[in-house]
A and B are shown apart, each in its own frame.
Chain A
Amino acid sequence: MAINWFKYSSPASFYFLAGKMIPLFSIAAIILGAAGLYIGFFVAPTDFQQGEAYRIIFIHVPAAWLSMFLYVIMAIWSGIGLAFNTRLSSMVATAIAPTGAMFTFLALWTGALWGKPMWGTWWVWDARLTSELILLFLYIGFMSLQAAIDDPRRADKAGAMIALVGVVNIPIIYFSVKWWNTLHQGATVSLTQSPKMATTMLTGMLIMSLACWMYAIAVILIRTRAIILERERHTAWVGELQLQGATR
């Protein structure tokens, strides 16, 4: 059986596919979020060094991971849109940016609230914190640039340039704790070493990360659908939708 790999690269078929997937991801996000918070607050033990303050980790680390992953995914879709002129890929990239910016802000905010009791300061200009702040500016720059250009296809291309150039910041964030002497601690979870934390803490953190992933996918799909309708409002298939009363 031949599979048509390009079927879902058409905004119309993607619109319906996404509509079916949103409830699944939303339910997964709620269940995983509840489980992750339960483990984080009731199962994971108190840290012997940081006391209860370390419980910020269950939102701080997932938010920071997502802020970086979402940027890379946004850049990849932007790049595909730029290279192959595929409308849908650029729409997905545009839909990712606000969620990425939200997680970046959360990573910075929770980091400040964790830094105050542990380091005695809300903020330092160390490499990890500064590069994460630059990430927030990249997201904001991407969104403002796209908002400033009226023609959506040109906005896609201009945004893609920022997204692709900004990718250089991602390895800088990730390796900043190795390359420079930072106040921020090194990676707690890495692929090459066994984790330096209790299993229940790690489980809670991983489940919370999955919950954030599911949330991000759900909200990005909802936003992508809105962008598709906005841009395709003059097409025949959106007209069909209106006839069926499906746009109410």
Chain B
Amino acid sequence: MSDFFSMGGYGLYVWGSYLVAIVCIAGEVILVFNRRRTLMKHLSLIHQSNKQEKINETAS
């Protein structure tokens, strides 16, 4: 097992590559989902305020 992690003495380079790759990919996935979530929140806020406006219009 420790043989596997040492990668014949090149562990730092091999795992340094794969670790950063995983961090980059995970980071991109998190960012893109955050973007969607913020957008959805924003859209539903607009929707709510539109609905409220219509109710106010009919009331007045």
Contacts and interface: CB of A to CB of B under 8 A. Distances in A.
A53 interface: yes
A203 interface: no
B52 to A, nearest CB: 14
A109 B20 contact: yes
A86 B35 CA distance: 24
Contacts of B21: 59, 63, 106, 110
A242 B41 CA distance: 11
Interface residues of A, number: 37
Given A226-B35, A226-B39, A230-B39, A55 B14 contact: yes
B47 A242 contact: yes
Contacts of B9: 51-52
Interface in B6-60: 7-10, 12-14, 16-18, 20-21, 24-25, 28-29, 32-33, 35-36, 39-40, 43-44, 46-47
A153 interface: no
A95 B53 CA distance: 34
Most buried by A among B17, B25, B46: B17
Nearest to B17: A110
A219 interface: yes
B43 A233 contact: yes
A77 interface: no
Interface in A60-80: 60, 63
B13 A116 contact: yes
A102 B44 CA distance: 31
Nearest to B4: A41
Given A113-B13, A229-B43, A247-B43, 5 more contacts: A51-B10, A52-B8, A98-B28, A242-B44, A242-B46
Top 7 nearest A-B pairs (CB, nearest first) are: A53-B10, A52-B8, A242-B47, A52-B7, A110-B17, A51-B8, A113-B13
8 contacts: A56-B14, A59-B17, A110-B21, A215-B25, A219-B32, A226-B36, A242-B47, A247-B43
Interface of A: 41, 46, 51-53, 55-56, 59-60, 63, 98-99, 102, 105-106, 109-110, 113-114, 116-117, 215, 219, 222-223, 225-226, 229-230, 233, 238-239, 241-243, 247-248
